[in-house]
Structure 1
């Protein structure tokens, strides 16, 4: 009887601690997708690793999130809906870029404010005129390695140095 009471108390303590961490983590979220944000649309040639929930940042600080990603069947470009905090007013000539968060990190949408005196509309009709899609880092690395290695293929022919040293294949 005493053992089951102890196990019950330990179980309740674990549930209490888990609940505390859940409440704490939810209270720390700064999601601009709540009622305080407005929607903007960005059209990219590539939107690799961008999905709903992806961060939207200005000056390295999260100011919103991606709410939808789809391909426009007419233009075959990725259309990304962003929700940005209402207290962030972006000039009309601002740019949207998809950038990698480090070499192994995910991607995020970086908003670079422009210099136009007029701001993007906050009624959901704002569209970025200037965008830059994601860069395929793996493809760049493969291209760099192949370029540095002379194509990376073995032609089966010995170089002059190998032939003179008797190291022909």
Structure 2
């Protein structure tokens, strides 16, 4: 009795390929990255503190994700954190907007929230968002509340 081994090998090969593709998609989704990024433009903002923010964090306007943080670096002349963000081309950000670092929930992930300004001029690729608000340091606030002010 001879069975058709070639069709069996083909079906097993297809099953393995589909399984690997699903695993790659799941890994990229969990890592909060995309392999095939859509059209976007890059803007930067400087913050005095970015505690807990990381590359890959969301950039949101009114609670809607409009981009991702692509990198975080240090400006060694001003000792400020420089955040580079990729924003979807379909979203225009006025030049007088404000970027603030927020936390989702009490101890959730950090993200950049952009509060749109009223100017008609929009930020272009590689431009700088000037108005920023640093991350709120919850640990510092709790220690001040529990231990009181140490300034005398």
> For residue 87 of structure 2, what is the aligned residue in structure 1?
84
Q: Matched residue of 1:140: which SS?
A: helix
**How do 1:141-152 and structure 2 match up within 5 A?**
141-147=142-148
Higher RCO, Cα 8 Å, sep 6+: 2
RMSD: 3.0
Aligned residues: 135
Q: Secondary structure at the match of 1:141?
A: helix
Q: TM-score normalised to the size of structure 2?
A: 0.76
2:141 is the counterpart of 1:140? yes
Q: Which string of whole-angstrom CA distances, capped at 9 and with x for unpartnered residues, describes residues 78-123 of structure 1?
A: 00000000000011101111111111112101111010111111x3
TM-score by length of 1: 0.69
Instruction: Say whether 1:34 aligns with 2:40.
Output: no
Pair 90,17 (structure 1): closer, same or farther in 2 beyond 3 Å: same
CA distance in 2, matches of 1:117, 1:16: 50
**5+ residue gaps, structure 1:** 1-11, 152-169
Unaligned 5+ residue runs, structure 2? Answer: 1-11
Q: SS where residue 57 of structure 1 aligns?
A: strand
> Quick check: which one's strand share is greater?
2
